[in-house]
Amino acid sequence: MNILVLHGPNLHLLGKRQPEIYGHQTLNDINTALDQFVASSSFDVTLKILQSNHEGELVSIIGEHIDWADGILINPAAYTHTSVAIRDALSTVGLPVIEIHLSNIYAREEFRHHSYVSGVAAGVISGFGAYSYILALEAMIHILGPKLTNHKDIV
């Protein structure tokens, strides 16, 4: 199964940007952890991991992977609260989507409580720091499980 992992704006600054909120792990640390999780699992999973600070680029990436991806993990970051375009792209491709946030967006400023993406997502994982990505990957594997040849490990 092919899973597209998208990181939104400013996530390339992880480890330096407000570590009291987002933690000390870098984006590379998170990507490495995802790759290691896949490598150590018994599942046949291929990840494609991309980051962009540009809304239009994220929209294009989503559309360009309509025939490749089986599911999408996305941390839209600030675009969570502003981007109808990203929501529309995710809705258009018709793939399972899991929305990810490092921080608990509901324990933060009021404007962060609204997500345009969550309405088209199978679920939202928020507040577990970098581990949120592993939880999301596990959830996506569970959602896509019937496509696996070895799905006896799925809970």
| Among 126, 124, 84, residue whose Cα is nearest residue 108 | 126
Instruction: Give the helix/strand (H/E) hosting 71.
Output: strand 71-75
Q: How far apart, in whole angstroms, are the C-alpha atoms of residue 88 and residue 98?
A: 15
Instruction: Give the helix/strand (H/E) hosting 51.
Output: strand 46-51
State whether residue 44 is helix, strand or coil.
Answer: coil
Q: Where in the sequence numbering do the catalytic residues fall?
A: 22, 101
